[in-house]
Amino acid sequence: MQRKKAIIIGGGPAGVAAAMYLRQRTQISFTVYELRPEPTTLGGAIALMPNGLRLLDRLGVHDRLLTKGNSCSSVILHSLQGSVLGEIDRVAAAKEEMGFGYLRIIRSEFLDVLLEAARNDGIEVQYSKRLKSITDDGNSVTVEFGDGTTDTADFLLGCDGIHSSVRRLYVDPNINPEYTGVSILGSIIPASLLGESVVSQLRGTHITMTQEGMFMAMPCDPSNEKILWVFQKEVPLPKSGDDRDGWEVHRKKEVEGFKSQMLEVLRDAEGEWGAAMKRMIEQTSTVQFYPIYKLPFGGKWFRGRCLLLGDAAHAMPPHAVQGVSMALEDASLLSRLLENDQRSLDDIFSTFDKIRRDRVKEVASQAEKNAQSRKRTGPWGLWFKEMAISFAIWGYTALGKHIRNAENKFAVYDIDKEEV
């Protein structure tokens, strides 16, 4: 099965990273197609752990990303009463071991850096290409787009996210995204609107548990001038059944509605930090809403000459902070497998599946466990969650290096050490 030419569907992080790895490690030509008319600007900020940053370094973009994001990796847990329940740096051990830490960066800034590096490598993305059909005749794969154009290649990579057209049209039509019951409300606001007393507190990631869910706030640029706040809570889907990845609310009435709900949740928040959270909500002018979906584990990741990567194959809740890193690991592994031009495409796809399944399942399982802290609870349930997290932080810092190593097993993993 020849593999001289590839079609990549999806111009987001997974698709662009896959293209960059193919260019770096193989002689395969390819074209990248994206359904949107331009790079998406929708999205708050994404977090990258050491395993993902190491792969971005191998793509040559790590240092550039550091100039765009915030690398403070402290996590500070607050109570609603205003006290600090604990503070931890969960990547300190991993950074000491491997030299890479943590990065919080606005999603659009992250994609801009990737696309700039891709263009420098001669990689271009064709936009406004909505996939209409896929035909695999055993010798090649042909795609048709909504504008009537077609393309044919030796194989196809579906990097088009959780609502993947490649999966729906061909690879595994029976696997559909499932709503987790949890959604994210959030906004990025200028630090200048918050006042010096608030900004001075905002170093690292600040977490406050409430009966309704989890509030988080953090800077997402290197100079601490842009502050992201998010609230993760159980929310029923809109009656329309809208399953978009997210949308931004600008209309004043709707924004004020979201803000009123949030201020009610934080009504009993006390102390300097309680006032800071309320100030962030009050200074918000747009709200982004993201229902969190996942894919059922066990679906097909490949069929014939088509392979799914990233969220198109194994989308999971973001609570393990590994979503983008999982896509980077996929892209790196596949490019290594494709370096050997004596292997059949079926063998390459099967080996990819075998290597990735356990790793993805383990990370997804951790994300599911972490999601429990976002669920609605009562006063005693809130107290229990706060005490459990406080004890975990104490244990992490007090009980020795073996505890830290166990916590960092996801972060120090290196996909390029897997035997292929």
Per residue in 67-78, pLDDT tens?
A: 999 999 999 999
Point out the least confidently predicted range of 264-278, 301-315, 328-342.
264-278
> Domain limits at 143?
5-42+107-177+295-373
pLDDT score of 407 more than 70: no
DSSP string, 206-217: EEEE-SSEEEEE
Does residue 252 sit within a domain? no
**What pLDDT sits at residue 403?**
45
Which band of pLDDT confidence, cut at 50, 70 and 90, is reported for residue 402? very low
Show the tokens assigned to 222.
């290197």
Mean pLDDT over residues 110-138, rounded? Answer: 96
Q: Provide the percentage of residues in the chain whose pLDDT is more than 90.
A: 59
The amino acid that residue 3 corresponds to is: R
C-alpha closest to that of 60 among 104, 13, 124, 117: 117
Answer whether residue 246 shows pLDDT above 70.
no
pLDDT for residue 124: 94
Q: How confident is the model at residue 248 (pLDDT cuts 50, 70, 90)?
A: low
What is the band of 366 on the pLDDT scale with cuts at 50, 70, 90?
confident
Q: What percentage of the chain has pLDDT greater than the value 70?
A: 91
Which token pair is 298?
């066990």
Q: How far apart are CA 101 and CA 411, in angstroms?
A: 9
Which residues pair with residue 233 across a beta bridge? 183, 213
The predicted model gives 121-127 an average pLDDT of: 96
Q: Is the pLDDT of residue 7 over 70?
A: yes
Q: Does position 306 have pLDDT exceeding 80, yes or no?
A: yes
From the list 44, 43, 45, 97, the residue with the least C-alpha distance to 71 is 45
| Alpha-helical segments (H) within 205-270 | 252-265
Would residue 311 count as lying in a domain? yes
Pull the structure tokens for residue 248. Answer: 């931004």
Report how far residue 195's alpha carbon sits from residue 321's, in angstroms, rounded to the nearest whole number.
29
- In tens, the pLDDT along 190-240 reads 999 888 877 777 889 999 989 888 999 999 999 999 999 999 988 877 665
Rounded CA separation 28/154 (Å): 10
Asked if residue 2 has pLDDT above 80, the reply is no
Q: What is the pLDDT of residue 35?
A: 93
Token pair 């900004």 is found at: 199
The alpha-helical segments, DSSP class H, found in 266-378 are 271-282, 311-314, 323-339, 345-371
DSSP reduced 3-state for 228: strand
Does the residue 221 lie in any domain?
A: no
Mean pLDDT of the chain: 88
What pTM was estimated for this model as a whole?
0.92
How many domains does the chain divide into? 1
Is residue 26 within 8 A of residue 338, CB to CB? The reply is yes
Amino acid 247: pLDDT: 60
Mean pLDDT of 371-392: 77
Arithmetic mean of pLDDT, 158-178: 96
Structural domain contains residue 406: no
206 is a domain residue: no
Dig out the tokens for 29 from the structure: 């030509």
Rounded Cα distance between 169 and 259, Å, is 40
Q: Can you name the residues that pair with 152 across neighbouring β-strands?
A: 142
Strand partners, 32: 8, 125
Question: In this structure, is residue 310 part of a structural domain?
Answer: yes
Least confident window among 194-198, 398-402, 408-412: 398-402
Q: Give the pLDDT score at 170.
A: 98
Domain contains 389: no
In this structure, of 38-47, 100-109, 224-233, the range with the lowest mean pLDDT score is: 38-47
Across the strands, what pairs with 232? 184, 214
The CATH number linked to 357 is 3.50.50.60
State the Cα–Cα distance between residues 157 and 407, nearest whole angstrom: 33
Instruction: Please tell me which residue, 22 or 385, carries the higher pLDDT value.
Output: 22
Q: Is residue 113 part of a domain?
A: yes
- Token output for 358: 């356990």
- Bridge partner list, 215: 208, 231
What's the pLDDT tens digit per position in 134-164? Answer: 999 999 999 999 999 999 999 999 999 999 9
